[in-house]
Structure 1
Amino acid sequence: MDLNTVVEIRDARQPAPWRPGDAWLGGGTFLFSEPQPHLRRLVDLSRTGWTPVELLADGSVEIAATCTVAQLSRFAKGLDVRAAPLFEQCCRAFLASFKIWNMATVGGNLCNALPAGPMISFTAALDGECLLLAQDGVRRRVRVADFVTGAGRNDLAEGELLRSVTLPARALACRTAFRQASLYGLGRSGALVIGTLDPVDGSLAVTVTAATVRPVRLWFPLPPTAEALREAIGDAVADDEWFDDIHGLPEWRRHMTFRFAEEIRRELEEVAR
């Protein structure tokens, strides 16, 4: 779609004061998908030269905001960690063509903050941490689970940039379990639940996305009972936080979340024995 209110595109490598009507341009798959009448200038990140995704010396993985889904998928094929299968599972959770795969970015998926965003599911489940850059150069770090605050809402201040997401080595060493449901064969995720089992201390984390307006990550020092898990999810998600749109009613999303969480609990409990 043409954005006929945009009058300028600025290279992000050339600093300039942020002004009303500015927006960061990554892959642009959302930006150009619908009218954006409030925009006047795009700040293009495509020439920043950031390494898309890399394994760091401490065993963590750093994903640049400009990393595409296709680049993340290719990287995971050569990654020798227990959580590696989760990379591809979440990449495949996109309702997207190969063209979108090669343009859509991890950062864009997080910043759009849509409940069905699979990069939100992926990075929140692996306890990812966002690096945010303010216009004055100040840096701050926020957990992905706290970065997305609601449907279409995030923790970015005006002009602030999501630079990267770091996945800790401890999380990458976890066993993972993945469940996803859609109303249609090629439909958007209506419920997506991921479990991670830490081999060091036996702790279990269960992350609920797509069914809720924000990611909900629950941590248990030891795998809980079925009743305790169900109670924890019920306490963590308020009645008005179950998402409601044409891709699924709140009651169905809630039901599928409880069902998947229990399946994951049993699957990872078997691994822990």
Structure 2
Amino acid sequence: MSLPEPVTLALREAGLDPRYVEDLARATLEEDLGGGEDVTSAATIPPGQRAVAVLGSREAGVLAGLPVAEAVFAATDPGVELERHVADGAEVQAGSKVLTVHGRTRDLLLAERTALNLASRLSGIATATRAWADVLAGTSAAVRDTRKTTPLLRPLEKYAVRVGGGVNHRSTLSESALIKDNHIAAAGGITAAFQAVRQAYPDVHVEIEVDDIDGALEAVEAGAGLVLLDNFSVDDVLEAVKAVDGRARLEVSGGLTLAQAGAYAATGVDYLSTGALTHSVRALDLGLDLVAVEAD
């Protein structure tokens, strides 16, 4: 069963694949059911009863994942009625009303945990990303994510980064080449690694990770358009920016913290990348409450 057209359209407008989201929603709902039924709801709620529920925020943050939550509710009840009160990217406060849902009570409660798990995590990512984006505002640098994402949730988590004001790094290993230390060691050096990638995949964008100034210069001379400065100090980044002199874009990564972000951005680099946007964020506290129950 496919999702209702308005939900499908909302997912597409968010840059998300409706089939992927629907499959994920159904898989997570089945995980909750465990091959059976919701015994609590089956025992306490008449089959035909309908209710109105409100999804709201219990703390301040940046909302993300509303189209995904809607897809979860629609996956349980295609006839569910959905009313948005805010949009993804909105800054919400404790007590903010996010979404009103009108449908079969049993289905609302079946969808509740999956919808909250996904929307809360994505909102946590968007909130963290917005904090970085705010610190970098007014500089030439943007914050980028990594592939340190939750398995099978990468499209959603990278979407949440965009919502928060960040920029996506590659999503897949086939999308672009990132030559790291192990590739360099295996290929016999920076230049050899770059040439091997360029020969095998002439149209693929190539980035090279380096750990010192000499490596950065070799990467530029080899032809890299983007160089990743790994675990550089602020002073070393300043030196690298001066040495590269605009011949390639520069990205800083490795152990960055929000407290350091402004100093690194002020060096003139193009990107700061951090896995912390996705691998260790705290979910935003969202909740769902029934506000009206209709007689069966």
Normalised TM-score (structure 2): 0.23
Q: Between Structure 1 and Structure 2, whose CA radius of gyration is higher?
A: 2
